[in-house]
Structure 1
């Protein structure tokens, strides 16, 4: 009986962490694009030695003023894996539990599902232990000031000529 229980627990342990990308694959496409931007920026740092993957979302919000435009804010964690930086196929990468999480906040504008370069996408990522309340406030303030005004002129406010 104990051997059967041990076998079941072992099988469950193998299935649970088998795919670190599962949380990422459940994200809506518009939010995945922001995670990809953050990972690209993180991987450009020389000091980063491990491959990082999306771990979990803390907050997701969007404003949809119309005309296929969406303003997105996403607060999430990235977590180091056992794979080295530059790993192309991360399907076999397992999360490490001996490294701090990376806390990221990103905001950007999409049009027709693609990230717009104006306003410039904002990406702020820092190791979680180093994140201060001032940094959190500055991050949110920056995203709120990026020109995401719902009162901006729209096509409905324009005047046609006769």
Structure 2
């Protein structure tokens, strides 16, 4: 009887071992398949993403301080200035992007020509100012479309404000 129980127990252990081994093998195969897919099939996509993510050149203007009179009343302060910029390196077609932007906010044809000229003159990673002093409503409209407009960047700058002028 002991021999029979031992064989039954051994058979149960062998079955469990085989099932666990099969599960481990299938998980490992799924992991290996996913690694192959990401490293071989999707290699070009991730190479492009990595190249675009290498450098982030950004010119940062200095923040100017407040000027107060002897009573602590501000004579000069800073106000937020919402600006729309375009980076030609990140945009497939600058003219097409500007055309879409003209449907969202007011951009004059003269400004479009100026922007196109500036994007050709400057280095491709330097942002070119498209519009400034945008309202929060305009910024919201543009922000909704930014996933469809690569190369568009909303920047918050500072403008000098003189309360007594």
TM-score under structure 2 length normalisation: 0.24
Structure with the bigger percentage of helix = 2
